[in-house]
């Protein structure tokens, strides 16, 4: 799978210092700057320390099963066009080399909802999906139990509110407040799409 992150740091230099510091025990395969500059930090066939504790679709040790891509962003900024275009190019190439399907491109918050929120609600998943680079089915499904749908999509067990928020970051970024019928219907739509793909 591919896990998308933001660096949460002010700029590329600070992020590179941290990602290349062995004592920090954090790394990624790629980092993309705001102007679209691409750095490869770890070979694709090597394990990087980008995901940490978490799981996706029942698979733990996500670091050993994924390629990590860091986007230079504090989390409070939009993702600029040059950066997003570079990400699309990297995704196409990596997905082709490793036969990674679109539904296996995930957010860091997807696999670690109790710890992470990146790449956050400003990230344009629908744009990636229009190019076959991520999952973003349109529409809504039935009003069924949210937990059931989130389990099917692949979210790991977690605090219910944090799991809801991770789902919203990814699939319903305008959602707020308590769980709603709109959340349940959107989650059922995603779960149905996942069942068809798996």
* Judgement on whether residues 55 and 117 belong to the same structural domain of the protein: yes
Answer whether 12's CB lies under 8 Å from 32's CB.
no
What tokens were used for 98?
Answer: 């490793």
Domains: count for the chain: 2
Does residue 164 belong to any structural domain of this protein?
yes
Which residues have a catalytic role annotated? 70
Which H or E run includes 38? strand 38-40
Mean pLDDT, range 180-198, rounded to an integer: 95
Do 9 and 53 share a structural domain? Answer: yes
pLDDT, position 197: 87
Tens-digit pLDDT profile for residues 126-185: 999 999 999 999 999 999 999 999 999 999 999 999 999 999 999 999 999 999 999 999
User: Is 92 contained in some domain?
Assistant: yes
Q: What is the CATH number of the domain that holds 35?
A: 3.40.80.10
Q: d(Cα 30, Cα 42) in Å, to the nearest integer? A: 7
Within a 13 Å sphere around the CA of 163, how many CA atoms are in the beta-carbon half? 19
Phi/psi of residue 72, each to 5°? -70, 110
Give the pLDDT confidence score for residue 21 in this predicted structure: 93
pLDDT per position as a tens digit, 55-100: 999 999 999 999 999 999 999 999 999 999 999 999 999 999 999 9
Do both 153 and 113 map to the same domain? no
21 and 58 part of one domain? yes
The reply to whether 116 and 18 lie within a common domain is yes
Query: Under a CB-based contact definition with an 8 Å cutoff, are residues 94 and 28 in contact?
Result: no
**DSSP-derived 3-state class of residue 62:** helix
Looking at the predicted structure, is the pLDDT value of residue 198 above 80? Answer: no
Asked whether residue 137 is assigned to any structural domain, the reply reads no
Q: For residue 193, is it within any domain?
A: yes
**DSSP-based three-state secondary structure for 59:** strand
pTM across the whole model? 0.96
Tokens of residue 7, six digits: 């660096």
Reduced to 3 states, what is the DSSP secondary structure of residue 151?
helix
For residue 140, tell me if it sits in a domain. no
Give the structural domain span for 111.
Answer: 2-130
* pLDDT value of position 82: 98
Give residue 10's pLDDT band: very low, low, confident or very high (50, 70, 90).
confident
Strands 59-60 and 55-56 turn out to be: antiparallel
Same-domain status, 125 and 152: no
Residues 46 and 114 in one domain: yes
Q: Rounded to whole angstroms, how far apart are CA atoms 109 and 125?
A: 13
């Amino acid at each position: 799978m591919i896990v998308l992150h933001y660096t949460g740091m002010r700029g590329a230099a600070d992020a590179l210092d941290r990602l290349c510091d062995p004592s920090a025990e954090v790394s990624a395969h790629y980092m993309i700057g705001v102007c679209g500059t691409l750095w490869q930090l770890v070979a694709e066939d090597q394990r990087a320390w980008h995901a940490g504790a978490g799981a996706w679709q029942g698979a733990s040790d996500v670091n050993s099963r994924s390629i990590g891509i860091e986007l230079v962003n504090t989390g409070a900024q939009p993702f600029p066009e040059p950066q997003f275009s570079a990400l699309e190019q990297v995704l196409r190439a990596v997905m082709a080399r490793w036969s990674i399907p679109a539904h296996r491109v995930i957010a860091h918050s997807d696999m670690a909802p109790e710890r992470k929120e990146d790449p956050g609600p400003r990230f344009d998943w629908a744009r990636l999906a229009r190019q076959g680079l991520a999952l973003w089915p349109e529409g809504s499904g039935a009003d069924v139990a949210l937990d059931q749908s989130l389990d099917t999509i692949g979210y790991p067990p977690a605090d219910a509110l944090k799991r809801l928020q991770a789902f919203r970051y990814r699939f319903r970024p305008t959602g707020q407040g308590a769980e709603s019928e709109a959340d349940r219907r959107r989650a059922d739509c995603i779960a149905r799409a996942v069942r068809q793909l798996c």
